[in-house]
Structure 1
Amino acid sequence: MLPISRKRVVAGAAALVIGALALSACASQRGGDDNAEGPADVDGTFVFAASSDPASLDPAFAQDGETFRVSRQIFEGLVGTKPGTPDPAPLLAESWETSDDSLSYTFALKKDVTFQDGTPFNAEAVCVNFDRWYNWEGLAASEALGYYYNKLFKGYASSPDSAVFDSCTPDGDSSVTITLKKPFAGFVAALSLPAFSMQSPKALEEYKADEVGGTADAPTLSEYAMGHPVGTGPYKFDEWARGEQVTLSSYEDYWGDKGQIDKIIFRTIDDPTARRQALESGSIDGYDLVGPADTGALKDAGFTMVSRPPFTILYLAFNQAVKELQDPKVREALSYAVDKDALISQVLPEGTEKATQFMPQSVNGWNADVTTYDYDPEKAKSLLAEAGYTEANPLKLTFNYPVNVSRPYMPDPEQIFTVLSSQLKAVGVETTPKSNEWGEYLDLITGGTDHGIHLLGWTGDYNDTDNFLGVFFGQKSAEWGFDNPELFKDLTDARGIADLDEQTQLYSDINEEVATFIPGVPLAHPAPTLAFDPRVESYPASPVNDEVFSQIVLTK
């Protein structure tokens, strides 16, 4: 979740900068080392409740927020984000220049940086990482594992005609040139994604990072991804007790400010109520994805609530590999059956905005005049009848949703499912519920075809339209199950346009194209909320979750 590489109009960007958290009373009762000393003589152990285990310790083979939250502490990319915004900023690359044809990018690299195994970060290491992604084959090159590279760079060495990447060339130790085959206006912004973090070439080779197995529905991780991640970030990996916690500790030779926290424990607590109780008891310092019903009570009890500005999208997707969903009238009927206002008021957090398209209003190309399908149950019934579905012959669909997980765009999937399935039932649609734990669910939805309508969403990675529309609809996908060459071409063309005004109009038109094609229902833009123990004086809240814990300020 990260920056952008060209000028962008960002509505309220200045308002995204979230100030220090004013906190009150009560010391943490987590049971940390009372004698631990950081720069401010504080308890340097920080316990954060995660809503699920990371899917992997290798961010290149990940797509979920809990994996990336851990990854951001261990790894860094060439590009980061400006604090409090989704916009790009230098990180391991101190600066960059773009060729006139927008196909070559030369990065000036930060010097005297080492990976956590003591090996140097340099231009050669950059190229090892780029060449690694480009040369993936088989399962590694599938949407199930190499999700972001697959979505954004389109092809591999085995499919060079479709590939965006061409080559990586070291220009000495501290400069590197990356050449593309096709224009990609969001290239620099995309590099802020944890999926494109720089990883130690030595560790990647030693622990066989690309030796993955299983199937797209159930991939198995490499030795590297299970327990040997090595980056340049402020924290190094110590231990992963699966299903329980991930432990990190401060990297002594980190090139930047190491901050006050010298030990991080990401404790897996999948139940929202249990996370709240853990904060109240003092056993954790903070957690994300606070339930809407808990916000007021925690605030009244002296905890501080921090809401990220909505940079999310929750949607109900239609898998067109299902025959019934190939009928546009059916997709239109389902759209009219959904009461978004009721959904938001009943189960989504304060500050949630209703969605009319598959990206927030602050993103370039949002279309104020897009076709919408406002709640109209009678029209839904009429369209279903035209499609041949009646009370005697009802439309029957599988409804997939995850359980025991909270996501920024989907704080309580089971509640959302309950509301939507009830609304569909009211117009005569019979749904068969099918639920999975989060990791299995992602594998099923993005790697297989055996799913129907389903809940999923997105937290923007950086402020670029391609990171929303392009990721969802830029190519064939197991999730959506359709083949629309015209839409694929339009999105490919738009992502390469450097002129902002021209690109804005193209994306506005594409939003209308998507709306009339109806791949699913854009439901809402939830505003995720975090809660902290009073000892946390400030937390680097980011609309794209680019939050590195070395920047947290503690008072006790």
Structure 2
Amino acid sequence: MKKKYLFGLALACLAISACGEKESGIEKEEKSKIVTVSLGSKPKSLDPAMYNEIPSLSIVEQIYNTLFQIDENGKIAPELAESYEYITPTELVIKLKKGIKFHNGDELKANDVIFSLNRMIEKPATKVMLDAIESIEPINDYEVKIKLKEPSAPLLYTLSYPLTAILNEKYTKEKNGNIATDAMGTGAFKYKNWGDGEKIQLVANKEYFGDKAKIDELIFRAIPENTSRLAALETGEIDIATIAPIDVQTVEGSSDLYAVSFPTTSTEYLTLNTAREPFNNKDYRKALNYAIDKQSIVDAVYLGKASVANTIVNPTVF
């Protein structure tokens, strides 16, 4: 990977979403059978190991599960895993929950975990995240042992990241690994239809091992234009949408809509190719960095719904 120099715009952004029906609010959402969401652009892939943008992530998280999750306090909690134990600093034993079913009815087993992790190690997008792993071995149908090249403090957090979702070995092999538009996992929603990526339909997984969905169907629609997305929200064509900061006042001023804004782990920044002139000159890059008024961008573009970042890594990231 080529080194890219961070400069200029580095914003710790807030996620802003708007929901329909302010008066009935959450109560209406719980009674609804279908919820339609628009996140802007259509996803590029529903293969967990291949996504690199938010629309894909938002859908992948509904279909798949990871071995661990991060709770509201930022601590590691089991998800597909029942428990874990470091028997040495470089040997991790993970015990799986029994009875978890994939959407095709197959039970989650150790071979699925081993297959999924090895597949990630082979792919460029995920290899770097699991580079500390030397091997993964089965102990029995519900236990695996991960051997590390060296101790890795962030490993459990890595295994909670959506990129490391667990796949069904048999199904993935039947599809020759081509699951970008034919996803199948253990999540709260089942994949139903791709719709060219413009309208992706998911249905509730009635056999889900966790808290089951309160709706029957979840639809993701791609509406790239901010104004069109806001209009669809106002007319009730969609129920939830990510909106531009400039539209927040419109939403907050409506009696039928309400806005939710909260800190996320994302950072927006610009990068330069240091292999090209004049960006290979450190002083030139520093001059560009100093020339950009980041606070004014936060105030004018994001209307205060962000903060200036001091580094490429958001403060909320472990």
Give the CA deviation at 1:39.
12
Alpha-carbon distance in 2 for matches of 1:240, 1:22: 25
Give the CA deviation at 1:243.
4.4
The CA RMSD over aligned residues, in Å, is 2.4
Structure 1 residues 167 and 27: alpha-carbon distance in aligned structure 2, compared to 1, 3 A threshold: closer
Q: Is the 8 A contact 2:111 2:169 kept in 1?
A: no
Q: Is the 8 A contact 1:75 1:230 kept in 2?
A: yes
Is 1:128 the counterpart of 2:115 in the alignment?
yes
TM-score (norm 1): 0.51
Give the CA deviation at 1:73.
0.6
Offset from partner CA, 1:239-284 (integer Å, 9 cap, x none): 1112421101112322222221110100111111111111100011
Q: Is the 8 A contact 1:119 1:202 kept in 2?
A: no
Structure 1 residues 184 and 240: alpha-carbon distance in aligned structure 2, compared to 1, 3 A threshold: same
Which structure features the higher share of strand residues? 2
Match 1:82 to one of 71, 79, 101 = 71
Partner of 2:140: 172
Alpha-carbon distance in 2 for matches of 1:359, 1:49: 27
Alpha-carbon distance in 2 for matches of 1:308, 1:351: 9
> What residue identity is the alignment partner of 2:36?
V
Q: How many residues align?
A: 299
Match 1:153 to one of 125, 130, 152 = 130
Match 1:325 to one of 269, 276, 279 = 279
Alpha-carbon distance in 2 for matches of 1:323, 1:46: 49
Amino-acid identity (%):
28
> What residue identity is the alignment partner of 2:244?
G
- Aligned residue for 1:171, secondary structure, equals strand
Match 1:94 to one of 82, 91, 100 = 82
Match 1:301 to one of 254, 260, 282 = 254
Give the CA deviation at 1:231.
0.5
Offset from partner CA, 1:310-340 (integer Å, 9 cap, x none): 4322212111121321111111111121111
Partner of 1:9: none
Q: Which has the larger radius of gyration?
A: 1
For structure 1, list consecutive stretches of 5 or more residues without a partner in the other structure.
1-20, 29-37, 155-163, 210-221, 363-462, 465-556
Alpha-carbon distance in 1 for matches of 2:128, 2:241: 30
Is 1:64 the counterpart of 2:78 in the alignment?
no
Partner of 1:269: 223
Partner of 1:233: 187
Alpha-carbon distance in 2 for matches of 1:185, 1:237: 34
Partner of 2:156: 188
> What residue identity is the alignment partner of 2:60?
S
Alpha-carbon distance in 1 for matches of 2:304, 2:290: 24
Alpha-carbon distance in 2 for matches of 1:350, 1:180: 44
> What residue identity is the alignment partner of 2:129?
L
Give the CA deviation at 1:80.
1.3
Match 2:269 to one of 315, 318, 329 = 315
Offset from partner CA, 1:11-55 (integer Å, 9 cap, x none): xxxxxxxxxx99732699xxxxxxxxx996x22111001211111
Structure 1 residues 322 and 239: alpha-carbon distance in aligned structure 2, compared to 1, 3 A threshold: same
Structure 1 residues 165 and 110: alpha-carbon distance in aligned structure 2, compared to 1, 3 A threshold: same
Alpha-carbon distance in 2 for matches of 1:351, 1:298: 14
Offset from partner CA, 1:116-168 (integer Å, 9 cap, x none): 1111101121111112223x2xxxx3xxxx32x133234xxxxxxxxx21111
Partner of 2:236: 282
Which structure is richer in relative contact order (CA contacts within 8 A, separation 6 or more)?
Answer: 2
Give the CA deviation at 1:100.
3.4
- Aligned residue for 2:140, secondary structure, equals coil
Offset from partner CA, 1:50-84 (integer Å, 9 cap, x none): 2111110111111211111100110001011214x
Structure 1 residues 26 and 119: alpha-carbon distance in aligned structure 2, compared to 1, 3 A threshold: closer
Q: Is the 8 A contact 1:63 1:195 kept in 2?
A: no
The runs of at least 4 aligned residues of structure 1 exceeding 4 Å deviation read: none
Q: Is the 8 A contact 1:39 1:259 kept in 2?
A: no
For structure 2, list consecutive stretches of 5 or more residues without a partner in the other structure.
1-18
Partner of 2:16: none
Partner of 1:105: 92
Alpha-carbon distance in 2 for matches of 1:178, 1:225: 27
TM-score (norm 2): 0.87
- Aligned residue for 1:325, secondary structure, equals coil
Partner of 1:115: 102
Q: Is the 8 A contact 2:120 2:130 kept in 1?
A: no
